[in-house]
Structure 1
């Protein structure tokens, strides 16, 4: 049974009428009347919780992105493996036939017939075109008539010569008998000499006419154009029915090329041409067949360069067989002139190599790092270098190696490494030489040289 208890204290001031009455129930939890300050403090604690979570997340993100990590997880490695390597001078070239001939017209006239088309294969002395021979045949008829006229005149002149010779013999006998004066004999001698000269003149005219006739017959032969070499028709600028004028220039009727052997004309810069040697191995690849090599040997470096926009380029030529006819004229080729090559050797990326500093007093220009490595490519083999090797325990150690053939991508290792070892080709943190300090993990600063 609930009871209402009223209490009063002597020192308690009189109750204000505005103060509400408070009823206490024994055994029941009484409401917290005087706790407003504690409730505010609890509310403030909950307000700080998101801030703490945000700070913790930022710290975790910064540690994962920028924090230090062990060297074994911060380096990029490559396995030392066996492979092929070469050091080559690269260039761009075009394909052309080793032997090509323009078959043209040596006489003027209308192109009567063209017996071949582009792409046809022809053999030497095969008829490929004909020019109308009517004009030349008329000239030959005239030449033959003139020749017959001169030959008739020659017969007449020779008869006169025989007569003059007989007259001299007769006049000489008469002079002996004093029947005729000496002047008569002298006139007979002069007539004989004139008759002989007439015979010589006619004979000369006959020879001239014979030569003219022979020339016209040659021209008649030129009306038939034969293939000068065996090969493929690669061009025919003249068409059937076209009038050809051969008085000033020789008109080209067809171009015949021997495509059984092709030549590559590679444009080599003046900085690289000094590295080429006659007889060195060369090969090229095509855009359509990047994995197939066509090999040959450098046979010529043309001394006169081609200069365009102040860029000096020299032509280096080498030949390759083309038995299947897959190589065509004017194809673009990526050319490689091989200076050094090796097969089945230990190969590592060039980025794994570093070169120690030279001692004071040595020739300048042989610094360390990639800049000196690029120079070593031109100097040849036998350079000493250093690589960082990841051991089986995960530690990184620096090791001296002997470098053989090197290009911009790979390098041959002659000694100092074994197949299967891992070499460091890059770092992903600030460890090591400090080049990548301050960069996010997994990022590398690009080389300066």
Structure 2
């Protein structure tokens, strides 16, 4: 009973001895000077240097349709998502008040025209009386005062005619304004497009005296515009006309290609800080330092023939600063930077490590283009070995 544990103990000791002997033999076969480290190979690949940013999709062309007439919405002929044509009737507002003003204006003009006709008759009579007085004056049968009175009456009548004509023109101008406001009770589509938002409902009362109430928005869903927010550290690398592409969460691996149309020179105005710590979407706050990262808006247009892009979608934008195909590349982690130079630790076939200066080109933040100093297929130390 006591011999079995002793036997197992001897077997374990023997196994450890064999493992130690194998490790010693393996170590003795290593080349002199070998450095235990991970290695990477210099390979050819395509590389792209780009600036990344987040953005939001918006229709490039849209119009907010508002009400210029006050009143209750009688009929709303469209809903969100409807396609409309320019000139299509969208909304009808109760026209009772505006129609009453138009009717009153027309009645006022009719009254003024009647008074104008009366004054013209008076003018005709005054003209005849003046001619009679002048005839009598030539025969010495009337006084000069009577001639002057007849002449004054003719002038007064002419002045009244001019006054009524001016009042008629004023009333007609007022009537045109009332008729225009009556026309505003029927709202038509100002452009072809899609109704993307409806902010009012049938039966709602609109007050257009203080501000223009917004009823709905019409937009053309092609082309769309990406409003990308680029940090001030990267904005100097972005230029108008630069090639760019973007992806969306809903689009999977699909890419949309575009070019930079415009860079807005002034960043959006920061919003007031709220008690909850909210800030402007155009700036990010570094919690450690309390400083804000300024972001500039870059605009890109893209056609949307299949309607896959929708308003307010979030996009990841890549501004392509440079591209190269089939060039030598290595991971950035395989290079050390010393005094402004890039140094690679090259693993020679005999196991020796040779530091070598490397001239680099484009970088995609993971890999870097090798312009000079390394050859295809060479192995580089990475990790602990690259620092030795």
> Which TM-score band applies after superposition, normalised by the shorter structure?
0.7 to 0.9
Structure with the larger strand share: 2
Residue 329 of structure 1 is matched in structure 2 by 311
Give 1:260 deviation, angstroms.
0.5
Q: Per chain length, whose mean CA-contact separation is higher, i.e. which structure has more relative contact order (CA < 8 Å, sep 6+)? A: 2
Output the CA distance in 2 between the equivalents of 1:224 and 1:61: 95
After superposition, give the CA deviation of every residue in 1:131-187 in whole Å (9 maximum; x if it has no partner): 122222222222211111111111111111111122222212222222111111111
Cα distance between partner residues in 1 of 2:22 and 2:156: 126
| Counterpart pick for 1:185 among 127, 147, 162 | 147
Listed as ranges, the matches of 1:147-158 within 5 Å are 147-158=109-120
Match of 1:423 in 2: 379
Question: How far apart are the structure 1 equivalents of 2:65 and 2:258?
Answer: 29
Matched, 1:176 2:133: no
In the other structure, the counterpart of 1:125 is: 87
Match of 2:259 in 1: 297
Q: Of the candidates 72, 75, 95, which is equivalent to residue 57 of structure 2?
A: 95
Aligned positions, number: 361
Which residue of 2 is the match for residue 236 of structure 1?
198
Matched-pair contact (CA < 8 Å) for 1:78–1:425: yes
Alignment correspondent of 1:350: 332
Alignment of 1:20-419 (within 5 A): 74-306=36-268, 307=270, 308=279, 309=285, 310-311=291-292, 312-355=294-337, 357-358=338-339, 366=340, 385-391=342-348, 396-419=353-376
Structure 1 pair 253/60, CA: closer, same or farther in 2 (3 Å)?
A: farther
* Residues 77 and 422 in structure 1, CA contact (< 8 A), matched pair in contact too: no
Change beyond 3 A, Cα 1:287–1:394: farther
Deviations 1:94-122 (A, max 9, x none): 11111111111110111111111111111
Hey, what's the Cα distance between the residues in 1 that align with 2:90 and 2:29? 81
Paired residues of 1:75 and 1:424 also in contact (CA < 8 A):
no
Q: Secondary structure at the match of 2:161?
A: helix
**Structure 1 pair 204–61 and aligned structure 2 pair: CA distance change class (3 A):** farther
Question: Greater CA deviation, 306-315 or 256-265?
Answer: 306-315
Q: Deviations over 1:10-58 (max 9, x none)?
A: xxxxxxxxxxxxxxxxxxxxxxxxxxxxxxxxxxx99x96997798699
CA contact (8 A) 1:140 1:216 kept: yes
2:160 & 2:106 partners in 1: Cα distance?
21
**Structure 1 length-normalised TM:** 0.72
The answer as to whether partners of 2:42 and 2:380 remain within 8 angstroms in 1 is: no
1:72/1:321 CA distance change after superposition, 3 Å: farther
Structure 1: runs of 5 or more not aligned: 1-44, 359-365, 369-384, 435-449
Q: 1:78 to 1:221 in 2, by over 3 A?
A: same
C-alpha RMSD of the superposition? 3.2
Cα distance per residue 1:51-108 (max 9 Å; x no partner): 97798699789989x9996677833233333332222222111111111111111101
* CA 1:159–1:67: 2 relative to 1, 3 Å: farther
Q: TM-score, normalised by structure 2?
A: 0.82
* CA shift in 2, pair 1:131/1:427, >3 Å: closer
Structure 1: distance between partners of 2:28 and 2:234? 46
Shift of 1:301: 2.2
User: Take 2:244 and 2:372, find their aligned partners in 1: how far apart are those partners?
Assistant: 29
